[in-house]
Amino acid sequence: MLKIGLTGNIGSGKTTVAGVFEVLGIPVFYADAAAKNVMVTDAELIEGVKQAFGSDAYFADAILNRKHIANIVFNNADELARLNALVHPAVFRAFDEWVLRQTSAPYVIKEAAILFESGSYKKCDQTILVSAPLEQRLERVMQRDGISHDEAASRDARQMNEEEKKILANHIIINDGSQLVIPQVLSLHQQFIAVKA
């Protein structure tokens, strides 16, 4: 099964691109949603989180105590790295299990905001970066989330620089309004089907 990683910095439009692939009948694994899910379903991860962040990390009904975790990892890079070191392997396991169920698809997409940062791109056969200029991306995020320019810029600054991602990506989809996105997706779709064939 051909595995394609899809990423893009905040406001790039990667979720929109993922949706186009879904319209084409390609299964999409959303890593951020999976991360939230494994936090309450993956026994190995839950045990690791409790050991790392204390029994208060979960409520008695096995619901994640997000406030407790956030208070520890917010503005603490070491603690955040410790949490990510627990979560990423669980998401990898979830992805591997999910791929096994996609028996009729020519290929699958793994949509992940931190595809390169987490190292999960190494488990993909090819990668796509959705790219747009910084100010355009920040404007989209400001409109989408109702936040200030500074807040949007702060979120972007926490991600790997787009120029670094361009070096790692096999394919780049330009989403700056100068080119239509759908034809770019269709072109890649044909390439991936050809690889499968």
**Residue 111: its H or E element:** strand 107-111
Q: How confident is the model at residue 196 (pLDDT cuts 50, 70, 90)?
A: low
Cα–Cα distance measured from residue 156 to residue 152, given in angstroms and rounded to the nearest whole number? 6
Q: Would you say residue 4 has pLDDT above 70?
A: yes
pLDDT in tens, 82-126: 999 999 999 999 999 999 999 999 999 999 999 999 889 999 999
Cα 151 from chain centroid? 20
Per-domain residue ranges of the chain: 1-27+107-197, 33-101
pLDDT in tens, 141-189: 999 999 999 999 998 988 899 999 999 999 999 999 999 999 999 999 9
CATH code linked to domain 1-27+107-197: 3.40.50.300
What mean pLDDT comes out for the span 35-61?
A: 93
